[in-house]
Structure 1
Amino acid sequence: MLHVRLITPSDRTDEVVQLIENTVGTTHLAVLSGAARNPRGDVVLCDVAREAGDELLGGLRELGIDESGSIAVENIDLSLSKRADKAEREAPGEGSDAVLWEHLAEATHEESTLSVTYLAFITLATMIAACGVVLDNAILIVGAMAVGPEFGPLAGFCTALVQKAPKLALRSLIALIAGFAFAMVVTFGFSLFMNAVDLFSVEQLDAKRPNTNFIYAPDWFSFIVAVLAGAAGTLSLTSAKSGALVGVAISVTTVPAAANAAVAFSFTEYGQAWASTEQLLLNLLGIIVAGTLTLLAQKYFWARHRTRTPLKDSAA
């Protein structure tokens, strides 16, 4: 269940209440007349089943409540109420399958912003991966994959394509390209420093490296795994199962490929650097294709759910 807290202008409260009452899957409606001070108006509270949340939020935005008042949504961890149980039964589909597009857009907006923290994470992840490829240490590679934050802008770009939001698409693309470019440049310098102090060597890079040579050997399996990981990552975001993102992060070789390219370039091993760059681009393409198709499929199926759902009054 979701808890919705609204501040509405007094002259729009009746419309908001009617919308809530007519939306299948809502309950625990309360109206506090004149309780809001900034902005002035009424406070309207209700609970809504997650699978009906997108429909309600869309209706509230059509009424302009996000501009004239306020819309706040919180997850309810525990709700002991027969009315809440009834609302969830009446709502279409399953809560775990529901997509809250407003929440997804907000989450990906934050994750796809080129910030100092984002640059720090992707740079540190790439430097860790650089140590992993030179030492042929799979544990370091997995650790770097888990630290890398690149799925945020990838998910933001997919969401922007589906929602036709050019500003979010541009922001995500800038974060993705600038983030990897910055991380690779810093890792290039890091590799030169490590070579100067005799901790990295070209012999280590050119060795067989059975644990990490897949990073610079792109093939169809690289693309297939990226597609599967992109679909899984998108589902984990839309279903609020964020724990699955860790598995997604360590399934694709974006950060390790960027690290291997930077290290190889610092040793003028241009063939290996280009092969690693191909691996990076192949993984990014697979995730974007899969993420976009997954969101399109979810949007289509939930649109069908909404057309089949009767109003609460007629359902009663």
Structure 2
Amino acid sequence: MRLVQVLIPEGNRDSVIAALDEQELDYAIFEETGRGEFEAMVQFPVPPTGVEPVLDNLRAAGVSESAYTIVLPTETVVSTRLQALEALYPGDRLSRDELKANAESLAPELATYFSFIVLSTVIATGGLLLDSSATIIGAMVVAPLMGPAITASAGSVLADRELATRGVALQITGLLLAIAVAAVLGWLLKGTVIVPPGTDIRTIPQVAERTSPGFLSLFIAFGSGIAGAISVSRGSGSTLVGVAIAVALIPPAATAGLGIAWGYAGVAGSAAVLVLVNLLAINLSALVIFWSSGYRPEVTDQHGAVRASVLKRVAVLVVALVGLSVVLGLVTYGSYQTSTFEHQATAETEQFFDQSEFSEYELESVEVDYDSQDIILGDDPTVSVIVGRPSDAAVPPDIADRLDGRLEETTGQNVAVRVGFVIGQESEPIPPTTGTSTSAMTISAPRAERPFAPVDLDGSGGP
């Protein structure tokens, strides 16, 4: 429920009262003596969804658009007409004035905004390098990116050019700043005792997760934007939803910065694509939700122009997303192909060494080197196999070629196979000693050595 207070201009008291009586609202009128152009102040309770239509009726009755108006949330209202009002105005959608006020409050001052961008990026960059999902989530609580996204969409549907421009500018500058901060921080940390020399960020799971964007990333971004628009238009849960929006933007922006710092163009480019896709999806979903919720400019004459502007923005965002979706499709297809090949190659290798002729050998590990970039560049996959053998067992000279032929026949891929052999020994278990307390007697035995023969990579039997 909302409590609305409006100043009535001179000469419009009767028409305002008639408009309130027509809608069967409970109201109270107070004489206004502080400002000469107003003769009274009226206040009345109304459900959230009724604020906008009631104010529109009052403005039609002579209340100026710039008249002093306050909308306050109320805890409890006791009125015999309350049930009829709630039936007349169901739901909890905020008025356009409340939406605009919420959007403005979500876009903080520049100093505050950029400070939180820097802090959240520093925390997220540390979380990526530490491979700590908890740290990354903590950075999202700090990131202030929900406000600009909602501000841009709200300004677009309400014909507030200044609000929309501010939202777009804050998003772009904020994300560029996040990438720059992560790049500088990565460059400073690279090669120090904090990040040891030779560290390959591409092998860090949290980084790798954001360098292979697929269609699921698009769904997450759409969900975040929809949740943000709904939470702001309903006036609930905006803080937690802001975390979801930040999760879709700050970690990939920090990943792009780390890619720049390490000189990995693939990492920087893939993460930047993910940032752009998420940004477009969040703005598109928020814009559609606000428009479909019925938010329109206050001036009726602007409805047609705003509708055309919104459709144009939606069309531009959709075209951009479709273009970037080609990249997402390639990555998704590549991930599917590499996962399928890895599963087939591992299964076939295990079956190959399960044959009776290899009963003396033991398959230790299978490693498949094949990723989405290999598919795009046309590079062949590599399968590296480590096999354990007894010291007196001979090495089959053609084992790599035979496994290569089997994998190529099964997968249809031109595969490079490497087979390495190791010689290992295992210690015999020490029988338990009966009748002796272990606290009074310690039994020690030398551990058996595990000598390893030189790795045979080509299957020829030589070192």
Structure 1 length-normalised TM = 0.84
1:48 and 1:87 in contact (8 A); partners too: yes
Identity %: 22
Structure 2 length-normalised TM = 0.59
Matched, 1:144 2:139: yes
**Letter matched to residue 93 of structure 1:** P
Task: Provide runs of 4+ in structure 1 moved above 6 Å.
Answer: none
2:218 and 2:278 in contact (8 A); partners too: yes
Matches within 5 A, 1:286-305: 286-299=281-294
Matched, 1:73 2:71: yes
Q: Which residue of 2 aligns with 1:32?
A: 30
Q: Which residue of 2 aligns with 1:93?
A: 90
More helix by share: 1
Q: Which residue of 1 aligns with 2:359?
A: none
2:12 and 2:63 in contact (8 A); partners too: no
**Letter matched to residue 131 of structure 1:** G
Matched, 1:250 2:244: yes
Matches within 5 A, 1:221-300: 221-243=216-238, 245-247=239-241, 249-250=243-244, 252-299=247-294
Matches within 5 A, 1:45-124: 45-61=43-59, 63-67=62-66, 69-89=67-87, 91-94=88-91, 96=92, 98-112=93-107, 115-124=110-119
Task: State the 1:131 CA deviation.
Answer: 0.6
1:153 and 1:176 in contact (8 A); partners too: yes
- Aligned residue for 1:11, secondary structure, equals coil
Task: State the 1:84 CA deviation.
Answer: 2.6
- Segments of 5+ residues of structure 2 without an aligned counterpart are 297-463
- Segments of 5+ residues of structure 1 without an aligned counterpart are 302-316
- Aligned residue for 1:265, secondary structure, equals helix
- Determine the C-alpha separation between the residues in 2 that align with 1:9 and 1:21: 18
Matched, 1:165 2:173: no
1:155 and 1:291 in contact (8 A); partners too: yes
Q: Which residue of 1 aligns with 2:425?
A: none
Distance 1:110 1:92, change over 3 A: closer
- Determine the C-alpha separation between the residues in 2 that align with 1:46 and 1:230: 34
- Determine the C-alpha separation between the residues in 1 that align with 2:109 and 2:198: 36
Task: State the 1:35 CA deviation.
Answer: 4.3
Distance 1:64 1:271, change over 3 A: farther
Show CA shifts across 1:55-107 (max 9, x none).
1233345545342x300100012223333333223x2332x2x2311111122
- Determine the C-alpha separation between the residues in 2 that align with 1:259 and 1:13: 58
**Letter matched to residue 82 of structure 1:** T
Show CA shifts across 1:154-202 (max 9, x none).
1111112222332222111111111222233233323333336432357
Show CA shifts across 1:81-139 (max 9, x none).
333333223x2332x2x231111112212323552111111221111111111111101
2:124 and 2:251 in contact (8 A); partners too: yes
- Aligned residue for 1:7, secondary structure, equals strand
1:215 and 1:253 in contact (8 A); partners too: no
Task: State the 1:240 CA deviation.
Answer: 1.0
- Aligned residue for 2:32, secondary structure, equals strand
Task: State the 1:279 CA deviation.
Answer: 0.8
Q: Which has the larger radius of gyration?
A: 2
**Letter matched to residue 235 of structure 1:** I
- Determine the C-alpha separation between the residues in 1 that align with 2:182 and 2:58: 48
Show CA shifts across 1:279-300 (max 9, x none).
1111111111111111122118
Q: Which has the higher contact order (CA 8 A, sep 6+)?
A: 1
